[in-house]
Structure 1
């Protein structure tokens, strides 16, 4: 037994008759004449070589074969509907532009490479990158200015977002060599940087203000030590903190991924910190929980993850 059909009309007609339990009522529902529908069903049964409906004086009902036909017909219509939806989505998003924002990052250096991979897989799809401060990420996602973000874990601050962790990096204390603090540091097994007890440090801290995400991390560090934070200077961005650091005016806290922005790292000592546990910062992909990711966006996320994990992008 083999079903021959150029479209889904056979399933649509049989399902309508099965639901209405009447050819005349099904014909009204389908906006065709009762004789036309009756002939169609009879012709289909002849083609299949088996009866789908049992005709009775009080109406019609499905035969065992009809029940099988209806069961698979419903599934085929569902799959067809899903296929059409996904094809339509693909068609509409073929020219999609994915807007991505990130906090201070070296990612902009690889925009062209990321774009090339995306457009090669999805012709016409573009990824645009914007450099923003961490505090601008949540508003940008919520007002739909950006589709995705690369940045720190903001999920504790706002439960409406997804934070997809990619890497953890050291939170570092950066100190100009002129302060000669390296001799007071401790080498700890398994750590990339010498460890520094911040309670031994003089109050020469250049601290980011409360508008910067990193300030929360800094406050937690001082809270762990029970040490009062008395900054020498307060700035409104990590970039300013690093510029002041390079001028030898004091020392600051930065995430390890910001190191490419320091011009003369040879003049600066870097220490890992944390009283009970070495402090790390988290970098990941951020997007709204209620966002339905397109295929292009999912692929874009996979490309970004690959680059970040391989150390080709700093965030």
Structure 2
């Protein structure tokens, strides 16, 4: 059908079957059959004859407008695709905050490199304000940060998803013998927390202060993976970002999510930030579009969190 719509658009623009057939290098009877097939498939008449002239019906005008949109999208697609046809593999440098680096960036890199095998992705990590500076100085193509960005005329911030803290405990933890857990149960609870210096630790501390909680902090560690592995051994709990908690990760480490309603307020928005698109290579602009679409369309929560 799409190819027939292209032929239909040529007839409209050439104003006659003869001229269109000549331009398309097909016979007029063959072109007429293609248009008749398209009309039958759509269930409408696209043209009406007025003497020797062809005029568009209302349905024909709508179809022609659609053909123009198709042409525009096709041209945009080819332009973006050409960025991947150069002799050198396209390279994108991403700046990522530490939380993003450990939680969402590995998944993103896998998806993008599977889709574009010749794409080379480099990553630089740092705190959110450091990533913002790198974007401004064009030392990275774009950044993924887990904190709000104050208004800046040279930075564009695109929200991707909300992330929040989740209480995680070993399934064998004694406290789970209770039928229901309250916020106050965190007082004195052995916990492993992230090392200072990230939005995740800042949010954790703010949450404890807001509700006057005093858990028994056993360890401060700067790796989500290490925290996950130590929870059962230390018989401790942890407040971890939702973006890191995949269902299989919970199963493999025999962990359980505890729903504490107050934790729904402990959240931040992960955003993609970039500078002036005019300074970015076509491949990078395309990667920004794909990254934004990936998170907005495919970001799934673990089943236990739904």
Query: After superposition, where does 1:72-151 map in structure 2 within 5 Å?
Result: 97-102=91-96, 103-109=101-107, 111=109, 113-115=111-113, 117=115, 126-130=119-123, 132=125, 134=127, 137-138=131-132, 140-141=134-135, 144-151=138-145
Q: 1:197 aligns with which of 182, 190, 197?
A: 182
- 8 Å contact 2:136–2:155 — kept in the other structure? no
Q: TM-score, normalised by structure 2?
A: 0.54
Specify whether residues 298 and 144 from structure 1 end up closer, same or farther in structure 2 by C-alpha distance, changes over 3 A only.
closer
Which structure has the larger Rg over C-alpha atoms? 1
Match of 1:251 in 2: 237
TM-superposed deviation, 1:218: 0.5
Q: Which runs of 5+ in 1 are unaligned?
A: 1-86, 187-195
How many residue pairs end up in the alignment? 211
TM-superposed deviation, 1:116: 6.0
Q: CA RMSD in A?
A: 3.9
Match of 2:170 in 1: 176
TM-superposed deviation, 1:127: 4.5
Q: Distance between the aligned counterparts of 2:278 and 2:183, measured in 1?
A: 42
Q: Which runs of 5+ in 2 are unaligned?
A: 1-78, 302-306
Q: Distance between the aligned counterparts of 1:230 and 1:157, measured in 2?
A: 38
TM-superposed deviation, 1:114: 1.6
SS class of match (2:165): strand
Task: Answer with 228-237 or 283-292: which moved more.
Answer: 283-292
**Which structure carries more helix by proportion?**
2
Q: TM-score, normalised by structure 1?
A: 0.53
Match of 2:192 in 1: 206
Specify whether residues 262 and 154 from structure 1 end up closer, same or farther in structure 2 by C-alpha distance, changes over 3 A only.
same
Q: Distance between the aligned counterparts of 1:246 and 1:140, measured in 2?
A: 39
State the Cα deviation string for residues 53-76 of structure 1 (Å, max 9, x = none). Answer: xxxxxxxxxxxxxxxxxxxxxxxx
Specify whether residues 112 and 275 from structure 1 end up closer, same or farther in structure 2 by C-alpha distance, changes over 3 A only.
closer
Match of 2:219 in 1: 233
State the Cα deviation string for residues 178-214 of structure 1 (Å, max 9, x = none). Answer: 224446575xxxxxxxxx5332123312111222220
- 8 Å contact 1:273–1:279 — kept in the other structure? no
